[in-house]
Amino acid sequence: MSKIILGISAFYHDSAAAIVRNGKIVAAVQEERFSRKKHDPRFPHNAINYCLEEAFTEPDELDAIVFYDDSILTLDRVLKNCMTSGKQSLVQFEKACQSVLGIKMWLRDYVEQTVGSLGKLGKLLFTEHHMSHAASAFYPSPFEDAAIITLDGVGEWATTTIGVGRKNQIELFKEIDYPHSLGLLYSAFTYYCGFKVNSGEYKLMGLAPYGQPTYYDRILDNLIDIKEDGSYRLNTEYFGYLDSLTMTNEKFNQLFEGLPRQPESQITRREMDLAASIQKVLEELVLRMTCYVKKETGAKNLVMAGGVALNCVANGRILAEKIFDNIWVQPAAGDAGGSLGAALLVTHVYFNIPRQMNPNGRDTQKGSYLGCTYSSYEIRALLDRKNYPYRQITDAKQRAQTIAQAIAEGEIVGYFSGRMEFGPRALGARSILGDPRSVKTQSIMNLKVKFRESFRPFAPSVLVEDVDEFFEMQTESPYMLFVAPVKKERRLQMNMEEFHKGDDDMLAIINQPRSDIPAVTHLDYSARVQTVSYNDKPDYYNIIKEFKKLTGYGVIVNTSFNVRGEPIVCSPQDAYQCFMRTNIDLLVLEDCFLWKEEQPEFKDSEDWRGIYDLD
């Protein structure tokens, strides 16, 4: 009998909803895309409404509604943490009371008020946070059996779990509990280097190749003890998160001889070296853990989720070491993906619906194109109503050729096509595209399009059949979750002498060509690869194919369609606004083409730079 399940994650960061029918993922989306507030933690009523619409389901037709974690156990942790930390934890207790007691405990009320029904069961179901992560990694993967690793900041108590998935069942047999957390350790360095916790971790990873791991030993000697099996414990004396509202404390400052970097101040060699050091610690720990999991389970396949699984450099190391034959990482590995995992877990465990593998051997995540879409008719109605000049190109081949031509001529293209991506990465549905061959693309796209820090690298989208022509990678990476080195023969020697002597000017080295695809080659000759196959997204594949015909390169630059601090665009209106606020040259809204020079003057009713909090 058909079962339709709604999964919800909320009240921490990246609220989301997902809907699953008989184990098939119908829709999944983050609330931030609708509310336009990055990492929106509020109850995801927009996301839920979209999921119900996409599934043509009324709330009272839902067989179950499930929340992705257990708030009672979270409260248990909060109380025990404060009882351990003593009187100085009052400030934290005050915040936690408001969050856990004032919000999370009232989940049923939120659901009843927003959804209007608790579904056929008449009550909510709950799962455990890391079970949700594990389910989001295992069930959509292409593997019947797999080892599982989940790593994040903290769930209820667990911060790390390991186990196995077999057919319908997930078994998590070991864990590491709060306050020991690899995610929180990495976030502590994110904070200390002047980036925002829960969003700046990606920047820290991108900064790491600029530095040397000079603090590596200091971290291992003082902050974390790692056993041979990859299990670990932190020395909590150095961290503020147990008894204050900051990640680090005075003792941490003393260890690294200075105060945390102020956000938006100049990044110095110290931050680069700290980033390199903590990245090295993280990679080595994850590698040890992966070897242990392999030994314990004997599995050929590995699946991963949890925020730390978005560290694509570490993922690339696991891949390169060939510890497992195959690896699959949930593209929405953070808390948003918990909504999907929870819904799948209820499907396969609560309702015992057999898991169905994709007959073509691929995963069942559908390319992670699980969000909303807009028809050409809807888009034309908007453009006509607003009198925005556009040209409709109905022929798919001509569309791909026109876009490829623009990219080859150095233009920046805003590309809006099909269902929006679920997870933090843009994969060709809400993307900004550029020419990877140009040495200027990285700084132009960073400073004039994205308005973000110049050091941040861009990712390549490469034809799946051409991946090993450009990168030292033999596998698919459809979700941009693995970093691989650019082929040696494509690399160009860089002049790093002045930089290594202590010159902190990153722009001087960013603008040096590093390969014949400099815009997607990071300082250490690595690239965060997205392989594109015709089956996953034919329109996007065809653009790259046409670009190859023009240039000989089956690879383009792909970055998310947004500016710094803004959620990725969701609607055509969002896309048009972003297009007009930035130096994007051409906007493609399905089959409608809008050139910047033809557009009327754009009058912003507000200073958009003040709308979005810097990430």
Partner 1 sequence: MISTKANRAMQKIRNFFEKELMPLAETLKESGISFLALGPDHDADTYYIDRHKATISRGDFEIEGGNCADDLERALVDLWTSQGYPQLTTLAPALCELAKICHSVEIEQEQKGDVSPAMYVLF
Per rule CB under 8 A, is residue 176 in the interface with partner 1?
yes
Binders in 276-315 for partner 1, by CB under 8 A? none
Q: How far is the CB of 101 from partner 1 (least distance, A)?
A: 4
Name the token pair of 194: 């002047």
Per rule CB under 8 A, is residue 235 in the interface with partner 1?
yes
Binders in 535-564 for partner 1, by CB under 8 A? none
Which of 68, 139, 178, 192 is in the footprint of partner 1 by CB under 8 A? Answer: 178
Q: Which stretch binds partner 1 (CB under 8 A): 8-16, 475-483, 542-550, 572-580?
A: 8-16
Between 289 and 313, CB nearer to partner 1? 289
Q: How far apart are CA 513 and CA 505, in angstroms?
A: 16
Q: How far is the CB of 11 from partner 1 (least distance, A)?
A: 6
Between 141 and 231, CB nearer to partner 1? 231
Rounded to 10 degrees, the C-alpha dihedral 456/418/401/583 comes to -40
Q: How far apart are CA 298 and CA 33, in angstroms?
A: 40
Q: How far is the CB of 542 from partner 1 (least distance, A)?
A: 41
Q: How far is the CB of 184 from partner 1 (least distance, A)?
A: 8
Spatial contact of 48 and 114, defined as CB atoms under 8 Å apart: yes
Per rule CB under 8 A, is residue 13 in the interface with partner 1?
yes
Binders in 56-75 for partner 1, by CB under 8 A? 66-67, 70-75
Q: Which stretch binds partner 1 (CB under 8 A): 21-29, 37-45, 274-282, 541-549?
A: 37-45
Spatial contact of 44 and 31, defined as CB atoms under 8 Å apart: yes
Per rule CB under 8 A, is residue 237 in the interface with partner 1?
yes
Q: How far apart are CA 28 and CA 202, in angstroms?
A: 23
Between 278 and 556, CB nearer to partner 1? 278
Q: Concatenated DSSP letters for 458-511?
A: -EEEEEGGGHHHHBS--S--TTS-EEEEBPGGGB-----HHHHHT---HHHHHT
Structure-token match 């099909």, residue found: 418
Which of 96, 400, 544, 589 is in the footprint of partner 1 by CB under 8 A? Answer: 96
Q: How far apart are CA 364 and CA 62, in angstroms?
A: 22
Q: How far apart are CA 136 and CA 344, in angstroms?
A: 7
Per rule CB under 8 A, is residue 602 in the interface with partner 1?
no
Q: What angle do CA 374, 379, 385 make, to 5 degrees?
A: 145
Spatial contact of 317 and 286, defined as CB atoms under 8 Å apart: yes
The helix/strand/coil state of 205 is helix
Q: Which stretch binds partner 1 (CB under 8 A): 165-173, 300-308, 536-544, 583-591?
A: 165-173
Cis preceding-peptide flag for 331 (omega within 30 of 0): no
Binders in 340-399 for partner 1, by CB under 8 A? 345-346, 349-350
Q: Which stretch binds partner 1 (CB under 8 A): 175-183, 331-339, 429-437, 480-488?
A: 175-183
**If binding means CB under 8 A, how many residues of this protein chain bind partner 1?**
85
Q: How far is the CB of 350 from partner 1 (least distance, A)?
A: 5
Q: Which stretch binds partner 1 (CB under 8 A): 167-175, 206-214, 356-364, 368-376?
A: 167-175
Binders in 101-140 for partner 1, by CB under 8 A? 101-103, 105-108, 123-128, 131
Between 231 and 277, CB nearer to partner 1? 231
Q: How far is the CB of 131 from partner 1 (least distance, A)?
A: 6
Spatial contact of 25 and 140, defined as CB atoms under 8 Å apart: yes
Which of 53, 60, 61, 171 is in the footprint of partner 1 by CB under 8 A? Answer: 171
Per rule CB under 8 A, is residue 40 in the interface with partner 1?
yes
Residue type, 85: S
How many residues are there in the chain?
615
Between 111 and 275, CB nearer to partner 1? 111
Task: Name which of 334, 422, 424 is nearest 373 in CA terms.
Answer: 422
Name the token pair of 564: 């710094």
Per rule CB under 8 A, is residue 48 in the interface with partner 1?
no
Task: Name which of 20, 15, 11 is nearest 350 in CA terms.
Answer: 20
Spatial contact of 460 and 558, defined as CB atoms under 8 Å apart: yes
Which of 11, 143, 192, 256 is in the footprint of partner 1 by CB under 8 A? Answer: 11
Per rule CB under 8 A, is residue 528 in the interface with partner 1?
no
